[in-house]
Structure 1
Amino acid sequence: MKATAEPTLFDRFFRDPEGNIVIAQKPNLPILIWGATTALQFLNFGGKFQTGLELVSFGILFTWAWLEIFQGVNYFRRSLGLVVLVGMLALSL
């Protein structure tokens, strides 16, 4: 019986369960919505609509970061979610 090699730190950090190196991936729905609401904020509608865009943008990015932390395919993606979440909270204080 042949023993399998223990995965290295590099493997754990950058590889998904199938063995592919994953740093970036195609955008998922939360990132697409966040991008759209962030782009719309540059039009500066003002008032309640602008505030609504800011809230939706923050909420969607928070959701994406949370999902990455707990469902990211590797440690890099989970770390990325944590960095984004901590950065968002730090900037909102």
Structure 2
Amino acid sequence: MRRAIDWAFRDRRTGAITVAQWPNLPLWLFAGTSLADWILNPPGTVAWALRLIAGASLAWWAIDELLRGVNPWRRFLGAAALAGQALVLATAGP
């Protein structure tokens, strides 16, 4: 079990266990625009723009984690978020 945990969560550069990290720019953009959309509940084009920025920011973060994640867990999170974004796009109405 310890080997599996080490493999999944150990940072390949530092050797530290890394489950979560301080948010980077794309994650802050996603959080900020999602929160603004939720609190303000803006009409029409503003809501569309906030959701577009939020979705693009989350996809940016997911691709970055998938390609440069410090361990398999972080790369899995990136892949899962990217798959979720693809599902949202695939099921979006006209």
Larger radius of gyration: 1
Measured in 1, the distance between the counterparts of 2:4 and 2:66 equals 18
**Greater share of residues in helix:** 2
- 1:28 and 2:24 correspond: yes
Equivalent in the alignment of 1:37: 33
- In structure 1, what is the Cα distance between the partners aligned to 2:88 and 2:55? 11
Give distance in 1, aligned partners of 2:67 and 2:30.
Answer: 19
Q: TM-score, normalised by structure 2?
A: 0.85
Structure 1 stretches of at least 4 aligned residues deviating more than 3 Å after TM superposition = none
1:3 alignment counterpart: none
Q: Quick one: distance in 2 between partners of 1:71 and 1:22? A: 14
Counterpart secondary structure, 2:58: helix
Report how many residues are paired. Answer: 86
Aligned partner of 1:38: which letter?
S
Runs of 5+ consecutive residues of structure 2 not aligned to the other structure: none
Instruction: Report the CA distance between 1:12 and its aligned residue.
Output: 2.5
**TM-align CA RMSD:** 1.1
